[in-house]
């Protein structure tokens, strides 16, 4: 299946080294992959990706992706006010899914 992949800040050099586009280019992966599995497949440790947006909404890492989803990955270190505005605050996405 194909996804549109974006990555920000410190995540970009790692993807560039692997010739993986990170500005909305299509990325092919297996059907039914979760965000967490995608992060691992891209070669990141879980803690290297603080937030994941799927189709412009913050999502938990156990979210299952589908064909055509737009995925954006955000590393730790996003400024505090932006973290709140984007919905990336300590434990926010885990708490919403309980």
Sheet containing strand 70-74, edge to edge, reads: 23-28, 2-7, 70-74, 51-54, 57-59
Q: Is the dihedral of CA 69, 5, 65, 55 positive or negative?
A: negative
Residue ranges of the domains in the chain? 2-96
pLDDT in tens, 54-89: 999 989 999 999 999 999 999 987 666 566 656 666
Domain 2-96 class? alpha beta
Rounded-to-integer distance, Cα 81 and Cα 88, Å: 10
pLDDT of residue 77: 76
3-class DSSP assignment, residue 94: helix
pLDDT of residue 84: 61
pLDDT of residue 71: 97
pLDDT in tens, 34-48: 999 999 999 999 999
């Amino acid at each position: 299946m194909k996804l549109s992949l974006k990555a920000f800040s410190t995540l970009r050099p790692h993807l560039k080294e692997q010739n993986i586009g990170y500005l909305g280019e299509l990325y092919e992966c297996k059907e039914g992959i979760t965000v967490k599995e995608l992060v691992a497949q891209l070669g990141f440790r879980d803690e290297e990706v603080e937030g994941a947006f799927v189709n412009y909404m913050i999502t938990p890492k156990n979210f299952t992706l589908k064909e055509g989803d737009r995925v954006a990955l955000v590393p730790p270190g996003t400024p505090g006010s932006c973290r709140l505005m984007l919905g990336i605050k300590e434990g926010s996405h885990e708490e919403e899914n309980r």
